[in-house]
Amino acid sequence: MKKYITFLSTILCCSSLLAKTITVSNNPNSPGQFTRLDSAILLASAGDILLVSGSVTDYAAIAGGTITINKPITLYGAGYDPRNDQALATVVSTIHITTAGSGTTISGLYISNEIYEDGGTNNITISRCKISSMWNNGSYTNGINGNNYNINENIIGVIAISVYNTTTPISDIIIQNNLITGSIGGPSTGSNIIISNNYFSGSNPLTATGYAGALYNANIYNNIFYYKSTTSTTAAGATTNCVFSNNIYFNNTNSNPFNIGINNNSGSNNINANPDFVNIDLTTTSITRLDNFNLKLGSPGIGTGTDGKNIGPEGGSIPIQYPYTGYSAIPVIDSMSISNPVIPPNGTLKVKFTAHANN
């Protein structure tokens, strides 16, 4: 009986009454209405909510390698590192959002390869996912490639911001409270690009060497740039026309890592100090279960952000939550037990479960 009380079945009541809710699972112990994500998207309508169960199988693998989103929908996964009875991540290796998919929200997925968009894809929210890269196999024009993107509370490798899109300038790109192990590269045109309260561990965090080139026209504040071994690098690379405020950098002996005063970059109140995380795994630039990016008492980042809150991914308006699981902002059952699995006719089934809200 246990298999019927799952991630999918326990959160249906929390979905919007204005949208149809569709359940997807290729896990036989957690059945849904569909076993294939591509089939569910095909039959979904604009505005529908798809609840995608964790599974040992990549949902894109049986769909030709890529899941294409061509209508505005919401995808909720079970997380990229769930810590409950099922403990299976929702894996979708590659996602392609077309312009018709503008208005899509994605949360709680492990995107093990890449997610990319066509030019003019707007109003996209991606949160609480683990993403290898946000670009298309070397195509610089297929990263973030539209207006009004909110990228928050994710673990991300590389982000490309449509470096060669000069005909339709992008705007309103907000990248905040992420754990970024690689880098961000940006456009030569654009406005209102905000990069705030992120953690960077890559060697060229704002250059994206080999990917999308340097970052342009961004406000970069309240971030932590943490080099796990001593270096003397320019964190900003060839960034141009950017403003750096209230960032912390550590293990970098370069006296001007953000190129302030060069290429029209400006900034103030940047701190060269150890941020004093609760714990950090120094053996890898990847994010592991040993990492805890909350700040210790006495850290130079406590209360020193531009907003009076903490610098780094645990500060700002939407702090990433430790432990880093990727749970979507919907209730999730952690454990469940049945004390009397055999009951007489008209008897009472006694079920005990624990859950949490994931706000």
Tokens of 128: 């609480």
Three-state SS letters, 47-68: CCEEEECCCCCCCCHHHCCCEE
| CA dist., res. 8 & res. 50, Å (int) | 10
| Contact between residue 163 and residue 212 where contact means Cβ atoms under 8 Å apart | yes
Q: Which amino acid is at 320?
A: I
82-96: burial string, b at 16+ Cβ within 10 Å, e else: bebbbebbbbbbbbb
pLDDT for 284 beyond 50 = yes
Q: What percent of the chain has pLDDT over 90?
A: 55
| CA dist., res. 203 & res. 231, Å (int) | 9
Kind of pairing between the strands at 277-279 and 292-295: antiparallel
| Contact between residue 107 and residue 139 where contact means Cβ atoms under 8 Å apart | no
**Considering only 187-201, 257-271, 336-350, which range has the smallest mean pLDDT?**
336-350
| CA dist., res. 176 & res. 152, Å (int) | 5
pLDDT confidence of 163, banded at 50, 70, 90?
A: low
Q: If you ran DSSP here, which 8-state letter would residue 266 be given?
A: E
pLDDT in tens, 229-271: 666 566 666 788 889 999 999 988 888 888 899 889 999 999 9
| Contact between residue 73 and residue 41 where contact means Cβ atoms under 8 Å apart | yes
| CA dist., res. 52 & res. 22, Å (int) | 9
**Considering only 93-107, 194-208, 286-300, which range has the smallest mean pLDDT?**
194-208
Tokens of 55: 């599974």
Tokens of 314: 């645990």
| Contact between residue 338 and residue 2 where contact means Cβ atoms under 8 Å apart | yes
Whole-angstrom Cα Rg for the chain = 21
Contacts of 73 (CB under 8 A, 6+ apart): 41, 44, 46, 47, 48, 49, 50, 101, 104, 105
Quickly tell me which residue has 């070397």 as its tokens: 138
Count of helix runs (H) and strand runs (E) in the chain: 1, 26
Quick one: average pLDDT of 105-122?
93
CB atoms < 10 A from the CB of 343, how many? 11
pLDDT for 107 beyond 90 = yes
Question: What is the residue extent of each domain of the chain?
Answer: 1-109, 113-328
Contacts of 345 (CB under 8 A, 6+ apart): none
pLDDT in tens, 16-60: 456 799 999 998 888 899 999 999 999 999 999 999 999 889 999
